[in-house]
Chain A
Amino acid sequence: MTKDILCDSGVLISLTAGCLDRMIYFFSETQKVRFIIPPSVEYETVTKPMQANLRKHLFSAIRIKDAIEDGVVSVVDAKLERETNKIMSCANNLFYIKGSPIRLMQYGESEMLALGQELGIDYILIDERTTRLLIEAPFHLKQHLETEFQTNVMVNKGNFKELASRISTFKALRSSELVMLAYEKGYFKNFNGLEKQALEAALYKMKYSGCSISFDEILDYVTRVG
């Protein structure tokens, strides 16, 4: 049975930049995982860096393009403009500071969630923290905003309910969890005797690439596998 997972642009770029893109192939071949992206993610990770000749991200773009052409990453265009805008509007009118709504989500992130909803996909691979917190702990995000801006954050309850009904059933995984799963499934076996070091190094690589994982979480997992 094929297992579908939605994929954020940040995860794809981090995996390719960290020379871990073979992991996508590994999951596709050994676990029948299908990595799904909306067109906006393809644009952001492939088309834009190649068209604009963004030197720093060009090699990642070529590798992601390759993965798309190899069929391990699938671009699905479901034309979900209305639903995308609805999710974006709810998210961006959810929290208010001094009467002004806080903009939390952009079109690309909303499109990914709308696509997941349309295709009935439960799992989402995302390194971006704000969208992930909106999915799994919106009140935690509210508290964080209150701490950062040192003021009360008001919640629009109607939008909160609307948004929760659309996105709260998603289960978010970070690239770090993908690395951990890969380790558990034998991806690092080829590093004869250095599997655990390779795992730890890969987790740090993901963290330094912007995956929202803490040092404590890495240490926790690495200690467990000990």
Chain B
Amino acid sequence: MKPLTQIATKILAAFRKRDQRSLRKLNDEVLKLAGIDRDKVCFDLAIYSYVLSKVVSKPRYLDKEYEQSLKGIAQVFQMIVDKMESPDQDELIALFSDLENALAHLEEKDPRFIVDLVTKGRLKMAATLYAQGIGLGVAAEMTGLDKQEILDYAGETMMFDRLKEEMTIEERLKNARKFLSG
């Protein structure tokens, strides 16, 4: 079994157990792989492990009225796991679209935010890739999001405080003043 298939299997098991902590850990694991491999399936797994962790963290989704929707999500994810080793990647990618639809169906009963869970997942993944050192444009391209969406998200994190700059602000200003003085 390929490492990605193992991760997908674990994601499904954690979702069925409504185990948010494990889902977040699996998300970290798969995201690191996505940054290096840039594999579409790997990236989708990173997004959906995050989204599923958000779903199980919300008490309202544990109500009976959402039971069928959650079952439907698990069924689509099971199909993804079953197709992980299939040479037909298009079929697998189509299943991720089905998963997105199943999640949209879950949210449409009681929408709370303008940005849906999957877009939020994409945003979080893109910002993480950018924080890791992947270019902003590349992160935008991989997720289909706008650069500014990612910048807005990144601006609300501590990513620019965690990496010490090599130049001081005074050195930067020296350059800036030099520019103006022509």
Which residues of A pack against B, CB within 8 Å?
1, 3, 5, 9-10, 13-14, 17, 31, 33, 44, 48-49, 54, 56-57, 60, 91, 97-98, 100, 102-109, 122-123, 127-131, 133, 136-137, 140-141, 144-145, 148-149, 171, 173-174, 177-178, 180-181, 184-185, 207-217, 220-221, 224
Q: Does B85 contact A (CB under 8 A)?
A: no
Interface centre among B132, B133, B182 (most CB of A within 10 A): B133
Which residues of B pack against A, CB within 8 Å?
32, 35-38, 130-138, 140-141, 146-156, 160-161, 163, 165-170, 172-173, 175-180, 182
A104 contacts B147, C-beta separation under 8 Å:
no
**Those 3 A-B pairs whose CB atoms lie nearest each other, nearest first:** A210-B151, A106-B137, A210-B155
Query: Which chain B residues border A33 with CB–CB below 8 Å?
Result: 180
Interface centre among A60, A102, A136, A221 (most CB of B within 10 A): A102
A9 to B141, CA, bound (A): 15
B133 contacts A31, C-beta separation under 8 Å:
no
Query: Which chain A residues border B140 with CB–CB below 8 Å?
Result: 106
Query: Which chain A residues border B160 with CB–CB below 8 Å?
Result: 129, 207, 211-214
Q: How many A-B residue pairs have CB under 8 A?
A: 152
A3 contacts B35, C-beta separation under 8 Å:
no
Q: A102-B36, A105-B138, A136-B167 given as contacts; is B179 within 8 A of A145 (CB)? A: no
A98 contacts B36, C-beta separation under 8 Å:
yes
Q: A105-B137, A131-B135, A149-B32 given as contacts; is B151 within 8 A of A181 (CB)? A: no
B161 contacts A216, C-beta separation under 8 Å:
yes
Query: Which chain B residues border A141 with CB–CB below 8 Å?
Result: 133
Query: Which chain A residues border B153 with CB–CB below 8 Å?
Result: 210
How far is the CB of B156 from the nearest CB of chain A, in Å?
Answer: 6
A17 to B163, CA, bound (A): 26
Contact check: which of B148, B161, B169, B173 meets A57 at CB < 8 Å? B148
Query: Which chain A residues border B178 with CB–CB below 8 Å?
Result: 171
